[in-house]
Amino acid sequence: MAHLTDPDTEQALHNFALGFLRFHMTDVHLATFRLLVAEGGKAPEMTATFREVGPDDTSARLEAFFRERMGLSNAGRVVRLWTGMLLSLRGAC
């Protein structure tokens, strides 16, 4: 999340996206994601437990970034669309 402090907005978003993808495209993360997708319907408690493991303030931090730097009133929607776009790359693996 330190990338979002870069005064250059474009560079901050670029570096955040690279770090976000590096984390979400690791073999361990992809295997966990596949397990949750494959078994989540049969064992919903597994996905619930996964979400409860720790706090994730990524969306809140990104929303604040988009509101403050770009003056967006619909920052939550923009964050969901942008991170969804980034995460869609998991399907290519």
Q: Is the pLDDT of residue 3 over 60?
A: yes
Average pLDDT rounded to a whole number, residues 66-83: 94
**pLDDT per residue as tens digits for the range 42-74:** 988 888 888 787 657 888 999 999 999 999 999
User: So what's the pLDDT on residue 57?
Assistant: 86
User: Which of 29, 19, 1, 8 minimizes the C-alpha distance to 86?
Assistant: 19
Which pLDDT does position 92 carry in this prediction? 66
Single pTM value for the model: 0.77
- Give phi and psi for 56, each to the nearest 5: -130, 110
Mean pLDDT of 10-17: 96
> Please, are residues 84 and 21 in contact by the beta-carbon 8 Å criterion?
no
Q: What is the DSSP letter of 58?
A: H
The domain limits of the chain are 2-92
Measured from the Cβ of residue 3, the count of other Cβ atoms closer than 10 Å reads: 16
